[in-house]
Amino acid sequence: MTPAGFFTWLWDRLNVFATVFLGIFVEAVPYLLLGTLASGLVEVFLDRDQMSRWISGRPIAAAVSGAFMGMIFPVCECGVVPLTRRLFHKGLPLSAGISFLLAAPVLNPIVILSTAAAFGWGQMLFWRIGLSLLIAIVTGLIFSVEKEAGNVLRPSLTLSNEHIHANPESENSFPGKIREALLITADEFFEMGRYLVFGSVLAAALQTFISQSALLTIGSGPVLSVLVMLGLAVLLSICSTVDAFVALGFVGTFSFGSVLSFLVFGPMVDIKSVLMYLQVFKRRSVFYIVAIPFMMSLLSGLVFNYLFP
Amino acid sequence: MKTRLTLDTVAGSVLVLTAVLVGLVILYGVMAGIRISTNLPQDGLISPLQTITLTFSEPVHFEAVASVVSMDPVVDGYLELVDERTVQFIPIKPFDLDTSYKLTISPDVLALNGHALKKAHTWEFKVRDPLIVYLSPNVKDSSIWALDLNGSPSRRLTSADIKIIAFDASPDGEFIVFTVINEQGGVDLWKVTRDGSDVSILLDCGPERCTRTAISPNGKMIAYSREAAGISPGLPFGSPRIWVLNLQNGTNSPVYEDEQIIGYGPSWSPDSNKLASFDGLADQIRVLDLKENKQYIFPSNTGGPITWSPDSTKILFTNVVQMEDGLRTQVYIADLLLNKSQTLLGENDDLDHAYYSLAWSSVEERAVLGFRISEEQPMQILWLFDPALLEGIVIANQEEYSYNSPQWDPWGNSLIFQRFKLSGAFNPEIGLWRQGLNEPVILAPGLMPHWLP
């Protein structure tokens, strides 16, 4: 390649990089804002006693109720991280928090409707919800054996609450509480936003320099197709609210099981969400949060490819 | 001694367990080989022109699949690769009634990754009894009804609330497309499934009129005439143009980009590759070969029906010519291979027979033509003839009745038609002529009969 040709190629790649980066970032920002807003409201309006009343301390019940909490919070994988962190701060049991973290990006109403719009009210939607719930609950249950939250969560989980208690009088009034919630939202948005930017840069760089078509080419066969779709789920880092429409494009090229594994695993783990997980959990915990859904999604995809082709 | 569970031991165990399960599933899959599923129904009853889809669990070599697929008895058709895991058998001629077919795939290495089909797969199926669908003759109830030939009562497929103008049945018998006037004064396309369970709008044409639908024999496209709305309400519609709605990818566009080319009454060739239509502005029949992107033009001024030979190389149509003693309707045959048309019937007629209804069956030597015997009598009779020999027999000529709208079944053995009495109240009826019958039989009161195979 001549130097001129190299620079032309590099310029093209940089254009692609900028486009992909903006695509991922702009798509995710509103949901991060929504998640941090929910987090701010939780901090101000929910106290630890209420949390302990609502969420059972028993591991199975906590994991199941945590998974179903996603149905009432319209957050995707970006917004769910700050919200989960806040809920942990309010005393949410580990098992409930983990299952909420993994299930909420799929179980929220927007994602259910978008999946139904893309695939209809049929098998794909049913299995996406069912498997996401199963994986979230199993992972939550696994974490329930850890009695000491400090072994799972990062010590820096203590949040920057300098705005709280700044003005005890205004705090008790409703407008004052809203103001506090918004201040917390802003703080947390900028804190988690950094990792969203880093994650988006990384995902855009990988997409720019790793050919998606090359991945698709090697992705034939019942095993490789699932692995490729799991890899794409991480690489593309698409928000779960729109990933069903992207997945629809793979139908025909990839088997049902492969597309399903993409739809189940993608909302739980991608580059930007892993970077955010690292701000909340210790590395060992993040490894399990990534590895367990990965293995279970792989198993699900293979079961569908081999047993129900 | 009580062992305390830790996150590492539990998570590690789950990961190991899932890894083992992944290994077992892969092992099972490798041992079981390639799996195949088809679209053949559970009851084994199919349409005579059913496309059979084979879906493999893994990407396959098309040539390898083609070499191991067999049909007993043999049916004219071809295999087509839809995507790397899907192969279709598309019949050229219909499967026979009252014949049991066996589709077999023999074991062999079929997958791109070297995996084999470990055991032979066989599916058995038969052709279902065809239905006849027609429009209710009741002015207040313009709905579609279905009738079988076993004597069961007719069954309504669409609600009486939907006022249907006209319809066409898909050649594989799976659905019907019909036209309905909408609130804006335009005409929309609707669709109803074979059993009437699903009625839905297919194309909202807004203030424009979408009429004269023709479903392609492969069931993938619908051609129709589309007339633009007038500039303001009450003004006439624009000239009709031929559009095609692709049912596979949803695209909907005019066939000819040139807006000056108008078209009416589209008609598909049996191989679905050619589309004929009538251009009333230029007094021409235009035939567009969509596969070769080639156009044929033949003079015609009647706008009457166009019918295709079974091999898709010829068309029959009518044309009116001025003779010394007046106008004569003639039947023309156009050969697309020679790009030439010639008079087939009527050149030496001493009176105008007003040839109109034309239908060429799937059997080369069998076509039907409607015409009047005398200029004093408007009644039309139906004549079964061989287009090559021009010899034939009259199959429907009862006095006081006029016959039209003939439609052949997929095998070219039975013909349905519409007849009505020339005097008295308008009571159209659906009739059936079948080889071996001396006289046609009347099936039910109705209009616009179509086969729903």
DSSP for B18-59?
HHHHHHHHHHHHHHH---EEE---TT-EE-TTPPEEEEESS-
Band of pLDDT at residue B428, cut at 50, 70 and 90: very high
Q: What is the pLDDT of residues B343-358, one digit of tens each?
A: 999 988 889 999 989 9
Question: Can you tell me which residue has the tokens 């939780």?
Answer: A42
B47: CATH: 2.60.40.3710
Q: Which residues of A touch B33 (CB under 8 A)?
A: none
Alpha helix positions (H), chain A: 3-45, 48-54, 59-69, 80-89, 94-107, 109-119, 123-144, 168-172, 174-209, 212-218, 222-236, 243-248, 256-265, 271-280, 283-307
Q: What is the pLDDT of residues A254-274, one digit of tens each?
A: 788 999 999 999 999 988 889
B positions 28-57 inside 8 Å of A (CB):
28-29, 32, 35, 37, 55-57
Q: What is the pLDDT of residues B274-290, one digit of tens each?
A: 999 999 889 999 999 99
Q: How many domains does chain B have?
A: 1
Type of residue numbered B287: V
Type of residue numbered A225: S
Q: B408 in helix, strand or coil?
A: strand
Contact A148, A75 (CB under 8 A): no
What is the token pair recorded at B394?
């009259």
Distance CA A109, CA B166 (A): 42
Band of pLDDT at residue A207, cut at 50, 70 and 90: confident
Please give, rounded to a whole number of angstroms, the shortest distance from the CA of B449 to a CA of chain A.
35
Q: Which residues of B touch A145 (CB under 8 A)?
A: 5-7, 10
Q: Please state, rounded to an integer, the average pLDDT across all residues of chain B.
A: 91
Q: What is the pLDDT of residues B84-112, one digit of tens each?
A: 888 999 888 899 998 999 999 998 888 88
Question: Can you tell me which residue has the tokens 């609707």?
Answer: B190
The mean pLDDT of A124-138, rounded to a whole number, is 95
| Ranges of each domain in chain A | 3-307
B positions 375-434 inside 8 Å of A (CB):
none
CB contact under 8 A, A309 and B111: no
Q: What pLDDT shows up at residue B3?
A: 65
The fraction of chain B above a pLDDT of 70, given in percent, is 99
The size of the A-B interface in CB pairs under 8 A is: 79
Distance CA B141, CA B161 (A): 8
Band of pLDDT at residue A163, cut at 50, 70 and 90: very low
Q: Which of A284, A285, A299 sits opposite B22 (nearest CB)?
A: A299
Q: CA-nearest residue of chain A to B13?
A: A142
The mean pLDDT of A20-31, rounded to a whole number, is 79
User: B258 — contact with chain A (CB < 8 Å)?
Assistant: no
Band of pLDDT at residue A225, cut at 50, 70 and 90: confident
Distance of alpha carbon B153 from the chain centroid: 25
Please give, rounded to a whole number of angstroms, the shortest distance from the CA of B453 to a CA of chain A.
29
Contact B125, B117 (CB under 8 A): no
Q: A139 in helix, strand or coil?
A: helix
Q: What pLDDT shows up at residue B132?
A: 96
Give the orientation angle of helix A123-144 with respect to helix A109-119, to 10 degrees. 140
The answer as to whether B62 is a domain residue is yes
Q: Which residues of B touch A284 (CB under 8 A)?
A: 7-8
CB contact under 8 A, A302 and B29: yes
CA angle, B112 as apex, B111 and B115 as ends, to 5°?
Answer: 40
Band of pLDDT at residue A158, cut at 50, 70 and 90: very low
CB contact under 8 A, A151 and B11: no
Distance CA A243, CA B413 (A): 53
Q: Is the pLDDT of residue A214 over 70?
A: no
Q: What pLDDT shows up at residue B110?
A: 81
Nearest to B413 by CA among B368, B357, B382: B368
Q: What pLDDT shows up at residue A240?
A: 81
Q: Is the pLDDT of residue A169 over 70?
A: no
Distance CA A108, CA A22 (A): 24
CB contact under 8 A, A221 and B58: yes
ipTM of model over 0.85: no
Please tell me what DSSP assigns to residue B363: S
Within a 13 Å sphere around the CA of B391, how many CA atoms are in the beta-carbon half? 1
Q: What are phi and psi of B425, to 5 degrees?
A: -70, 155
Q: What is the pLDDT of residues B242-282, one digit of tens each?
A: 999 999 888 999 999 998 899 999 999 999 999 999 998 89
DSSP string, A70-132: GGG----TTTHHHHHHHHHHTT--HHHHHHHHHHHHHHSHHHHHHHHHHH-SSHHHHHHHHHH
CB contact under 8 A, B35 and A309: yes
Nearest to B332 by CA among B379, B285, B393, B275: B285
Contact B279, B286 (CB under 8 A): yes
- How do beta strands B380-386 and B391-396 pair? antiparallel
Nearest to B23 by CA among A264, A303, A259: A303
Q: Which of A292, A303, A306 sits opposite B15 (nearest CB)?
A: A292
Look up the domain containing B87 and give its range. Answer: 36-127
What is the token pair recorded at A211?
């050919």
Band of pLDDT at residue A42, cut at 50, 70 and 90: confident
CB contact under 8 A, A221 and B26: no
What is the token pair recorded at A151?
């072994």
Band of pLDDT at residue A164, cut at 50, 70 and 90: very low
Distance CA B266, CA B213 (A): 7
Q: What is the pLDDT of residues A278-299, one digit of tens each?
A: 989 999 999 999 999 999 999 9
Q: What pLDDT shows up at residue B2?
A: 59
Q: What pLDDT shows up at residue A137?
A: 95
Q: What pLDDT shows up at residue B211?
A: 95
